[in-house]
Amino acid sequence: MLAAGLVLTLSAAPARAEPTVRSCAAPTAAAAGFERATPSEVAMDTAATQRAVDFASSRLRTNVQIFRNNCLVGSGPFNDVTGNTPWHLWSSTKSVVSMLAGVAVTQGRLDVDAPIGRYLPAGEGDDAHRAITVRSLLTQSSGLDQGIVAEGLTSGLGLAVDAPGQALQLPFTRPGEFQYSQLGPDLLAYVIQNAVGEDLQVFAQRELFDPIGIAANDYYWARDRTGHTFGFALLYLPPNDFARLGCSCLRTGSGTGVG
């Protein structure tokens, strides 16, 4: 009887309502920005969020943005000045190239376990280099040996005549082990371009940037002197647009072809 009464009492207790956590719609038009929300609306600590913004800003971070559920919940004091100014993304360019690889894979135009020779013109690169897999370029484990220090001396000067061609001439060292590379991502960008059958930047604009509202005149993406898009760096993109890419990744590519 006691057990039965306890069960009846528990079953009669009103259910506790879960707090509502706000979600925002992702911007898809170039003119539209992110919806703003207070930290408390997305179940974040207001004071802690402000401390994070203050800390980053005190370390010369001239653009700070904090998001949850596509909502902008924290902004740095200089964002209005810097938000729409194209910045050099440096090695974050590599991440954009990886996103483009994801789009091409989703569309069935790129196989990450295939040798890159499948996507190179006949006769370009020797057998060993053509056997490098797309996955190993994505994970920087191809074994291409590169002098990072020497390369750093000319980084950003636009001295490369044919970056993918240079990559295909590098010697190998420790294939299968992670080794940070710059020409590897350049080669990856070239492989993706060949896989999709059109200029990489045209593909990027239509399949990745347009769906999330990044306009073609918002950014500059440099090429080598043969016309190949650099994959290691040299994409200049405003922070407000970079946030669109980041939030798209948090949505596992929703709104683009990445997912």
Of 55, 82, 109, the residue at which a domain comes to its end is 82
Which run of H or E residues covers position 73? strand 71-75
In terms of domains, do 43 and 167 share one?
no
In terms of domains, do 165 and 235 share one?
yes
Phi–psi pair at 71, nearest 5 degrees: -95, 135
pLDDT attached to residue 194: 99
- Both tokens assigned to 226: 């043969």
- pLDDT of 65-121, one tens digit each? 999 999 999 999 999 999 999 999 999 999 999 999 999 999 999 999 999 999 999
pTM above 0.85, yes or no: yes
In terms of domains, do 94 and 204 share one?
yes
* DSSP at 66: E
Q: For residue 2, what are the CA distances in angstroms to 6, 8, 10, 157?
A: 6, 10, 12, 82
* DSSP at 13: S
In terms of domains, do 172 and 78 share one?
no
Residue 166 lies in a domain: yes
pLDDT attached to residue 63: 98
Sign of the four-CA dihedral 104, 106, 108, 110? positive
pLDDT attached to residue 149: 66
In terms of domains, do 67 and 142 share one?
no
Residue 28 lies in a domain: no
Residue 230 lies in a domain: yes
In terms of domains, do 167 and 198 share one?
yes
In terms of domains, do 208 and 232 share one?
yes
Residue-range definition of the domain harbouring residue 183: 87-250
In terms of domains, do 125 and 49 share one?
no
In terms of domains, do 183 and 67 share one?
no
pLDDT attached to residue 2: 33
- pLDDT of 37-48, one tens digit each? 999 999 999 999
Q: Nearest CA to 165 among 195, 125, 122, 223? A: 125
In terms of domains, do 169 and 69 share one?
no
Residue 21 lies in a domain: no
Segments of the chain with pLDDT less than 70:
1-18, 148-159, 253-259
- Both tokens assigned to 247: 């939030």
Count the domains in the chain: 2
pLDDT attached to residue 7: 36
* DSSP at 221: E
Helix then strand then coil, % of the chain, to nearest 5: 45, 10, 45
pLDDT attached to residue 258: 45
Q: Do the Cβ atoms of 170 and 145 come closer than 8 Å? A: yes
Q: CB 119: neighbour CB atoms within 10 A?
A: 22
Q: What is the CATH number of the domain that holds 154?
A: 3.40.710.10
CA distance 147 to 139: 18
Residue 231 lies in a domain: yes
- Which pairs from 202-205 meet CB under 8 Å and 24+ separation? 203/100, 203/103, 203/104, 204/96, 204/100
Q: CB 161: neighbour CB atoms within 10 A?
A: 10
Q: Do the Cβ atoms of 69 and 224 come closer than 8 Å? A: no
Q: Do the Cβ atoms of 151 and 185 come closer than 8 Å? A: no
Helices 92-106 and 183-196 meet at what angle, rounded to 10? Answer: 30
Of 82, 107, 139, the residue at which a domain comes to its end is 82
pLDDT attached to residue 9: 34
Alpha carbon of residue 93 to chain centroid: 7
Residue 238 lies in a domain: yes
Residue 194 lies in a domain: yes
Residue 187 lies in a domain: yes
Beta bridge partners of 172: 144
In terms of domains, do 224 and 144 share one?
yes
CA distance 248 to 259: 9
In terms of domains, do 109 and 166 share one?
yes
Q: CB 206: neighbour CB atoms within 10 A?
A: 14
Of 52, 82, 112, the residue at which a domain comes to its end is 82
CA distance 23 to 73: 11
